Amino acid sequence: MAFEIKPRTPEEFGPIATELRRDIIKMLLEAGSGHSGGPLGTADLYAVLYFGGYLRYNPQDPHMKGRDRFVLSAGHMAPILYATLANAGMFPKEEILTLRKYNSRLQGHPGRDMHLPGIETSAGSLGQGISIAVGMAMSDKLVDKNDARVYSLTGDGELQEGSVWEAAMSAAHFNLDNFCWLIDNNDCQIDGRCKDVMDVYPIDEKCKSFGFDTVVIDGHDYKAIMDAYDLFLDNQKKGTGKPTCIIAKTYMGRGVSFMEDEFGWHGKPPNAEQAEQALKELAAI
């Protein structure tokens, strides 16, 4: 059974996010490869966006004209997107266990050519998804002149890609108040801490100077996440002409004690014993 899409109180998101995290563990165990850290870390952002009524979509009609779109720019975090779409009723839930298998629609990085409902574009080459998302927002606002919204999530390591900033510059230049940029600021990337690999800070000042209405939030606090999405909706409603940026402070691997804040879990699946432990911990939340 899929979760209902409706306005919720902050307390209602916990069980949904836990289910998403449990699904991530099950998928990765079955696949034997893939990314644990980022997907677990961002699950709370997805729970509120997809099940709190902020993203307007229709599982019965995934290509609905004028729908809002979510573009996962950090394509390696695909497991959380697949878990979310399955729990939203976009495709049968048992399909999540085909992750990374031959002939599966759920490849390691999202592929538009897989025709999986809810996947708006292919992604995996960092920096490209957000550029495509800004193009979608331009098309909605300036060509179709509808009120559709576009959300795109990048990692913080992804900010090291120059094309991210070209996209950001365009969003502000074209007054895309229908565009919301989510940054997963877990301060971890594949090789270490972001500031050690290539210092991306101060992220908030950069985003502000690029013309975004920018907020920094605790990415595991449901009320804070709701307030941030509300700010975005408000910006669009008022026609401020400013895109919104939500910098979500998160912990990689959130919910699983031995994965939390450990960049070694960026691109690793749990083994059977670790998965059992993770599911036990998640069940106890």
Ligand X SMILES: Cc1ncc(C[n+]2csc(CCOP(=O)(O)OP(=O)(O)O)c2C)c(N)n1
Per CB under 6 A, residues contacting ligand X are 37-38, 74, 76-77, 124-127, 155-158, 161, 184, 186, 188-190, 252, 266
Q: Measured from the CB atom, is 126 or 226 closer to ligand X? A: 126
CB closest to ligand X, residue no: 155
Quick check: 159 and 181 in contact, CB under 8 A? no
Token pair for 82: 């697949």
CA 186 to chain CA centroid, nearest Å: 13
Q: In terms of CB distance, is 5 or 28 closer to ligand X?
A: 28
Cβ 58 to ligand X shortest distance, Å: 29
Give the residue with the Cβ less far from ligand X, 23 or 140. 23
- Whether residue 178 contacts residue 148, with contact meaning beta carbons closer than 8 Å, is answered with yes
Q: How far is the CB of 163 from ligand X (least distance, A)?
A: 9
**Residue 30 or residue 261: which is nearer to ligand X going by CB?**
261
244-249 β-sheet, strand order: 69-72, 150-155, 179-185, 244-249, 213-218
What is the rounded CA–CA span in Å between residue 128 and residue 194?
Answer: 19
Compute the least distance from the CB of residue 6 to ligand X, in Å: 30
**Taking the complex as a whole, how short is the minimal distance between the CB of residue 190 and ligand X, in angstroms?**
4
Query: How many Cβ atoms from other residues are within 10 Å of residue 238's Cβ?
Result: 10
Q: Which residue type sits at 51?
A: F
The CB-of-84 to ligand X minimum distance in angstroms stands at 16
CA 263 to CA 156: how far, in whole Å?
13
3-state secondary structure (DSSP) of residue 67? coil
**Tokens encoding 56:** 């307007």
Question: Which of 190/215 has CB closer to ligand X?
Answer: 190
- ∠ Cα 80 212 156 (to 5°): 40
Q: Is 27 or 148 the residue whose CB approaches ligand X more closely?
A: 27
String of b and e for 110-143 (b: at least 16 CB within 10 Å)? bbeeeebbbbbbbbbebbbbbbbbbebbbebbee
CB 88 → ligand X: shortest distance, Å?
A: 22
Q: 44 or 156: whose CB is closer to ligand X?
A: 156
For the bound state, the minimum distance from the C-beta of residue 117 to ligand X, rounded and expressed in Å, comes to 24
